[in-house]
Structure 1
């Protein structure tokens, strides 16, 4: 993998779940989509992706992402789908299933919030640990793109994952990286490889998915 790669990466968040509406930390709990609440967002996502052809599709192995991928109908016949545990949400450990009011008086929770996720959650992960598994996944995306000629890749994942990818590719602040359910980001990426099989991703542009419509004056 000694030559540069150009890859378009589209990452979308799963649709709405009951825990989203209840504002509970889902983390790696295998919570399904909530219908009919999720349907409008999923149909809008399907419409946004209907004309696109992806060379490879990766999805978190949690069911809310697999359901979103099925609804989006983005994986065309013959396109490989990889269920990828490294695309799971941040492991929220002891916070999973809880809401802010249940946690706000806990000193370790306040410290975690103040650290913008850098501290490790009791029984869970830190942002650095999430970034580490995403780095490993991105390396494999590059290897697969080199081997199989992938130019356009779809990832169906979670809000925390997309936040970290935005921080990496768009160099934005933690609090600015949020995307809504059944929405995501599109990045034009270049992978600068070296002769040792290592390399670095560089982003040349980013945009919202579905594309944002400018208001007419």
Structure 2
């Protein structure tokens, strides 16, 4: 356990849902994908990942992420798949199912927006609570990578999760971490085990998934 491990982490957001189209806070509600609207993005993501082979796959256990994983056809025989509740979206509590116009005049909502997510949502989570469960999940990813030799891992999750991972690995500000549906990020990471089981992830580089057309030319 003394040596570090290099891991390529490909993290993608689920496809479009009706609540995405309606701009409703979706959170941990188990909303399915919206077809045919979701199809174009999912097919583009499938094509982008078609030639890639993953050592392991982690997915949020919410239905829209499992549907996305099925559509992009990245799960292959013999590749371990873990459905992971800790990869669920931020719990938006009282805001779930609502749109901005329904919330904009509420003092607690305005305070939450001004705090860039650091305040706890009534009946839901704060950004710090999301980061805490993601840190626990990343610790388990490190254990799995060290134990099984995983070098390339696919993750299917939600926009808020990717935002927090970008803040961690890319050190960008809150509003800069948005990714659209059926898109994501690729990180080249190194994990260094530490004393008392407290290791450290270092990001060597990051890029968009799929690669933007302007960069692919």
TM-score band w.r.t. shorter chain: over 0.9
> What stretches of structure 1 of length at least 5 have no aligned partner?
none
The aligned counterpart of 1:19 is 19
The aligned counterpart of 1:197 is 197
Q: Which runs of structure 2 are paired with 1:91-130 in the superposition (5 Å)?
A: 91-130=91-130
The Cα shift of 1:213 comes to: 2.2
- How many residue pairs get aligned? The number is 217
The aligned counterpart of 1:85 is 85
Partners of 1:29 and 1:215 in 2: CA distance: 35
1:25-50 Cα offsets, whole Å, 9 max, x none, are 00000000000000000000000000
Partners of 2:198 and 2:143 in 1: CA distance: 10
SS of residue matched to 1:28: coil
Partners of 1:76 and 1:211 in 2: CA distance: 23
The aligned counterpart of 1:186 is 186
The aligned counterpart of 2:141 is 141
TM (normalized to structure 1)? 0.98
The aligned counterpart of 1:50 is 50
- 1:55–1:151 Cα contact (<8 Å) kept: yes
The aligned counterpart of 1:170 is 170
The Cα shift of 1:196 comes to: 2.5
Partners of 1:23 and 1:156 in 2: CA distance: 21
- 1:42–1:182 Cα contact (<8 Å) kept: yes
Partners of 1:137 and 1:61 in 2: CA distance: 14
* Aligned-residue RMSD, C-alpha: 1.2
Partners of 2:212 and 2:186 in 1: CA distance: 12
SS of residue matched to 1:201: strand
1:60-92 Cα offsets, whole Å, 9 max, x none, are 000000000000101111000000000000000
Partners of 2:203 and 2:15 in 1: CA distance: 26
Over 6 Å off, 4+ runs: none
Structure 1 pair 183/107, CA: closer, same or farther in 2 (3 Å)?
same
Structure 1 pair 216/192, CA: closer, same or farther in 2 (3 Å)?
closer
TM (normalized to structure 2)? 0.98
